[in-house]
Structure 1
Amino acid sequence: MSTHEIKVERREDGGKGASRRLRHAAKIPAIVYGGGIDPVNIQLDHEKVWLASQNEWFYSSILDLSLDGQVQKVLLRDMQRHPYRQLIMHLDFQRVNENETIRASVPVHLVNVDTSPAGKTAGVVVTQELNEIEVLCLPGKLPENIEVDLGNMSVGDTVHMSDVVFPEGVQPATAIDESHNPAVAVARHARVEVADETEEGAEGDKAE
């Protein structure tokens, strides 16, 4: 598991006015809570966090918050963004205990699509139906992503969550059964969908 350290500073002032002043100073107001310790108000450098937020790991990995020379392991639990500006308004971090199971959403990466029978067939599109999976695991076992190998996927195949091979020590947060087994990826003939749309359009013209 990769280590991602983010330096933060303690902030004493609270309230909307103080938060507004922080944002004007290119800082992000935030809070870190949980772990049986009192919540702490903190502030972060906006530019550094904005760059980090462009990476997938920022949302799904254990982060090392460096505060007053001490490192606390946390998960990002909430991010408030400005409705139209490239501005992060507030962040919530939750402390994690390395010996306690956590619940987190992990991105899904499809691999070997181009080399699969479906990927090498003209007119076939492989679509990703599930972008992330919520898992249960110890913090040290949390993967940055879950790879789903589609190397054997053929035209017409659907890969379900029950087909996913989870890393050791990681399991889906919701049990996989007949009522919960969502599709992860599907291989379809693109030209069939186009033909269907054309036929529907033609029928609509006739009706008019």
Structure 2
Amino acid sequence: MLADLPPEQQNINVNYPMVDGISAQLVPLKNENITFPRTVFSFGIYNEVLTNTTKSNYTSPGYGFSLGMQHQIRGMWKGGLDIRWADWVSNNTQQNPDLSPLSIFSKIEGDPPIQSLVGDYWGKVFQPFFTGGVGYTLFFSGRSWSAVQSKTSLGQASITYGVGFRVTLPKSFAVRASFENWRGVQTSDVSAQIYRLELVFGDVDNI
């Protein structure tokens, strides 16, 4: 059949799929990363060191867990949410039950530019940051979700602030290490220090 066609129509390109322009725009290539633009998510573990009166009444025996989300606002600024869950064991169970604090914070993070000091490549791989947030902490008695404390001193507004650094890895992943202080707003007796390690994923390369 090809011999019956004019010479200019006998060359058929079989190396490329025949698609129309609209389909090519709607269907992403297989090597494209589908992410939330300028948004990252994190999962972390942390060691909590209790301070002030909290240290006298409770001991933090193990590690806590955290979930977070951040979205780039503008320039070096990012905003997001942070949820943390830990475990406290009472030093005197006759007076105080064991508690599990659940903290929910709305946070702001700043990433100061360091490219002028370390160069564009290392400024993208290694990024220091500072952070702060305001939220609320609930304290659950005996590690039970249905037994939240009603006392003001054990369920109250709280603040957090700290510093850390992020190391960007291949394939749109990053690792963050940070140190934070947190305390209750109504009373400073509820307070602790947080040493945290997080795995970050999402649109890491662009924020």
Q: TM-score, normalised by structure 1?
A: 0.26
Which protein is bigger by CA-based radius of gyration? 2
Question: Greater relative contact order (Cα 8 A, min sep 6): structure 1 or 2?
Answer: 2
